[in-house]
Structure 1
Amino acid sequence: MAEPDVQKVIKLVPENLLKKRKVYQAIKATQAKLALLQKRKDTSGRPIKFKRLEEFCKDSKRRHRDDTRLQRAKTRPPPSLPPAKNRLVFAVRVREIKGVSPRVKKVIHMLRLRKIFSGTFVKVSKTSINMLKIVEPYVAWGFPNLKSVRELILKRGQAKIDKRRLPLTDNTVIEQHLGQYGIICLEDLIHEIYSVGKNFRLVNRFLWPFCLSVPRHSARDKVGLLKDMGEPGPRAEGINGVIRKFN
């Protein structure tokens, strides 16, 4: 038995709604075209930046100076280790590294001081002291006390999770990533850093490098050093004053 023909009912759309749809589709097509053009423009590469001859000479002079300094350091006796009570170093980059020797730049990256006025904790060892000697003209370092370590972590402590920064405002984050090492709260993290425990390297890598608060238009001298920050090199206990001032 044949089924009866069922007539399909075509819903009528108001004319004003059709006009709105047409205008909306035109707008979306224009936006898609502009986005495609912008993507092509971005992927075409950055324009060539003009660099003056003076900049080439300045970079070459700085690179030659670094190479000469490192070559002379090979003939000198190795630096002596600090007293046993000083097992923790806080290093701050105070100068630009544009045009420096590749070896100096590599050590700067190993210390995670990619940005100026950024600081990290370093465990005292023969290797780390030699690394700090290599970058001595660009980094200030010293031995922080417990108060400085606590203030840095409480005020500027950020966790590095999946290459993203996450403020340390919840102990759940610490327990989730460091709980297997017995570190479940912020106080445990501070104690592990200051005491340079057996899990110091893991905890230090968990922390994002600290960015000190330096005024944008601070007074600088002729060589580009911040007058309030002081000169690079070893500061011993004087690094605590820098942390107090710029934290």
Structure 2
Amino acid sequence: MSSRVCPLSLFVYDPVVRSKKVIKLVPEYLLKKRKAYQAIKATQAKLALLEKRKVCRGKLLKFKRLEDFLKDSHKSHRDETRIARSEKRPPAPLPPAKNRLAFAVRIREIKGVSPKVMKVIQMLRLRQIFSGAFVKINKTSMAMMKMVEPYVAWGFPNLKSVRELVLKRGQTRVGRKRVPLTDNTFIEQHMGKHGIICLEDLIYEIYSVGKGFRAANNFLLPFKLSVARHAARDKAGLLKDLGNPGFRGTDINSIIRQLN
């Protein structure tokens, strides 16, 4: 009787042998490299989070020298003295009845001005330099122009200047977005109750200072006027070309041509 051995019986299952796993060794320089890379990434993420929090809070803090505080204090004191002296003087006479519309452009910086001047600047909606807005001429507006005279140039625009400003830079706000005035249907939808159904009606209402002037002027956002890049770098030359602030009469039209 021949004895045969089954080939399957040669393989014996050993759980100890199967449970052992081979662990690959990593060189030490690679471990150090990974650790350094993870530390860099963690630092970058922390800096990005801090920058995001700063942006959410508002403007970044800027270092201010003592000389800047003194300059702002002198400017504020000078404004208050100028306003107090102007109040003692007799008020300036109103312009002729035909000049009922004025256009004001801010051509000077207002850092460090007195609170009264800052409040008038905000009421005129001239928060940014080289921004302009229409103003209805009356005793109150004349007094306001007198207060901001060193920083704002103003005068009487003609119909051509009003039309060019509204057609080229006329915008309104819908929610938080600035929307250019290019659709008469949109204008009729928002200003139809004031009798303004198209862009030409809006221009005529502004220029003629009609009954709906206040609504039409509030519908228009302040005009963001442009300055050439080389002119913005050469501030002395730019201010020389624009001239002095204050009342400019009909010369305001040349400033509008230059900045529009």
Q: TM-score, normalised by structure 1?
A: 0.81
Alignment counterpart, residue 227 of structure 2, candidates 176, 191, 214: 214
Partners of 1:87 and 1:196 within 8 A in 2: yes
Alignment counterpart, residue 200 of structure 2, candidates 172, 187, 194: 187
Provide the C-alpha distance between the structure 2 equivalents of 1:59 and 1:167, rounded to a whole number of angstroms: 37
Partners of 2:188 and 2:197 within 8 A in 1: yes
C-alpha change, 1:47 and 1:149, in structure 2 (3 Å) is: closer
Tell me if 1:37 matches 2:52.
no
C-alpha change, 1:188 and 1:57, in structure 2 (3 Å) is: same
Partner of 2:185: 172
Alignment counterpart, residue 73 of structure 1, candidates 57, 82, 86: 86
Alignment counterpart, residue 126 of structure 1, candidates 105, 120, 139: 139
Q: Give the 3-state SS of the residue equivalent to 2:178 in structure 1.
A: strand
How far did 1:172 drift?
1.3
Tell me if 1:153 matches 2:184.
no
C-alpha change, 1:163 and 1:128, in structure 2 (3 Å) is: farther
How far did 1:47 drift?
5.7
Task: In structure 2, give the amino acid aligned to 1:71.
Answer: A
Partners of 1:225 and 1:231 within 8 A in 2: no
Q: Determine which structure has more spread, i.e. the larger CA radius of gyration.
A: 2
Greater mean alpha carbon deviation, residues 211-220 or residues 78-87: 211-220
Provide the C-alpha distance between the structure 2 equivalents of 1:68 and 1:144, rounded to a whole number of angstroms: 31
C-alpha change, 1:89 and 1:163, in structure 2 (3 Å) is: farther
Provide the C-alpha distance between the structure 2 equivalents of 1:113 and 1:44, rounded to a whole number of angstroms: 24
Task: In structure 1, give the amino acid aligned to 2:134.
Answer: F
Partner of 2:32: none
C-alpha change, 1:41 and 1:144, in structure 2 (3 Å) is: closer
How far did 1:151 drift?
0.7
Partner of 2:99: 86
C-alpha change, 1:47 and 1:108, in structure 2 (3 Å) is: closer
Provide the C-alpha distance between the structure 2 equivalents of 1:91 and 1:188, rounded to a whole number of angstroms: 22
C-alpha change, 1:40 and 1:135, in structure 2 (3 Å) is: closer
Partner of 1:59: 72
**CA deviations over 1:145-191 (Å, ceiling 9, x no partner):** 10110011011111122243100111111011001111110000000
Provide the C-alpha distance between the structure 2 equivalents of 1:52 and 1:43, rounded to a whole number of angstroms: 26
Provide the C-alpha distance between the structure 2 equivalents of 1:139 and 1:230, rounded to a whole number of angstroms: 11
Partners of 2:75 and 2:113 within 8 A in 1: yes
C-alpha change, 1:185 and 1:44, in structure 2 (3 Å) is: closer
Tell me if 1:139 matches 2:117.
no
Provide the C-alpha distance between the structure 2 equivalents of 1:41 and 1:124, rounded to a whole number of angstroms: 43
Provide the C-alpha distance between the structure 1 equivalents of 2:171 and 2:214, rounded to a whole number of angstroms: 16
Provide the C-alpha distance between the structure 2 equivalents of 1:176 and 1:159, rounded to a whole number of angstroms: 13
Provide the C-alpha distance between the structure 1 equivalents of 2:188 and 2:133, rounded to a whole number of angstroms: 22
C-alpha change, 1:96 and 1:44, in structure 2 (3 Å) is: closer
Structure with more of its chain in helix, by fraction? 2
Partners of 1:94 and 1:225 within 8 A in 2: no
Q: Which runs of 5+ in 2 are unaligned?
A: 1-40
Provide the aligned length of Structure 1 versus Structure 2.
214
Provide the C-alpha distance between the structure 2 equivalents of 1:43 and 1:153, rounded to a whole number of angstroms: 34
Task: In structure 2, give the amino acid aligned to 1:76.
Answer: R
Partner of 1:162: 175
Tell me if 1:102 matches 2:115.
yes
Partners of 2:54 and 2:60 within 8 A in 1: no
Provide the C-alpha distance between the structure 1 equivalents of 2:250 and 2:161, rounded to a whole number of angstroms: 11
Task: In structure 2, give the amino acid aligned to 1:231.
Answer: N
Partner of 1:13: none
Partner of 1:227: 240
